[in-house]
Amino acid sequence: MTNVLNLLPSGLVASGVQRAVYLHPTDHTKLIKVLKPSTIMPRRNNFNGVVDRWFPSTRLRQIRKEYTEYLRIMLNHPEPTFRAPMSHMFGFVSTNVGLGCLTESVMMPDGTLGETLGSKAKEGTLTDHHIDLLNDTISRLFSNDIRASDMNPNNFVFGHRDNGSGPGPEECVLVDGFGDIHAIPVRSMAKWSNRLGLIDSCERLGRNTKLTWHKDTQQFSR
């Protein structure tokens, strides 16, 4: 029999447009992301109906792209010193609220969830230190040719990841939106086309956070 993880409403710590994010019930280094049910689908109780309801094709496709990109990046960087700018992904778990994507958590030292770039920009609590952390991540996205199609400010989280013996250094981690989700996969065509895409995404990220994007140095400033 498959083990089904029981996720309680009290473990729900964040919610995006597509996914509900739960703390892992026994492992604080991990989160479980569950697709929100698509309530507009006509209800069919056969296998396809259930799959459609929980994984309508476009959403399924986005998740597939995210995992594909994760695999590509990790297989290209087997070196133990590689510091991934995106959160690690550990596959799937069955839960009482649907199929869960197991992912690395980005946390504060007090055990609460890290805050997003979006909420810090909105609150006006972004410091030079946060901008340095963001710039470090941006330069790793460029230098590792990572395809990040949705650089929404809410997809960057400040905090710490577990390094095997406790919380690692403070970082700004891309937790969602990587992978080439475009219908025509221009980002995957060549390094230069991904670079143009990343520049475009950074310009938009700058507009959405009221930070200035410097194309020449590929960095943000206030």
Which residue ranges make up the site for ligand ADP (CB under 6 A)?
A: 14, 16-19, 21, 31, 33, 87, 103-106, 113-114, 116, 154-155, 157, 175-176
Q: Which of 162, 161, 192 is nearest to 175 (CA)?
A: 161
The two three-digit tokens of residue 209, written as one number: 């956070």
Select from ligand ADP, Mg ion, none the partner in contact with residue 103, using the beta carbon and a kind-dependent cut-off of 5 to 8 Å: ligand ADP
| Candidate list 103, 155, 201, 209; residue touching Mg ion; CB under 5 A | 155
Q: What are phi and psi of 9, to 5 degrees?
A: -55, -30
Segment 13 to 72, residues that bind Mg ion, using CB under 5 A: 16
* Contact window for Mg ion (CB under 5 A) among 33-41, 126-134, 169-177, 183-191: 169-177
User: Is 87 a binder of Mg ion (CB under 5 A)?
Assistant: no
Contacts of 42 (CB under 8 A, 6+ apart): none
Query: Distance between CA 147 and CA 188 in Å, rounded?
Result: 7
Contact 171, 106 (CB under 8 A): yes
Complex with ligand ADP: residue 101 or 211, whichever CB lies closer = 101
d(CA 64, CA 200): 23
CB of 18 vs Mg ion, minimal distance in Å: 7
Phi-psi region of 71 (alpha: psi -120 to 50; beta: other; left: phi over 0): alpha
Report the residue number, 116 or 194, with the smaller CB distance to ligand ADP: 116
Residues at the contact surface with Mg ion, assessed by CB under 5 A: 16, 155, 176
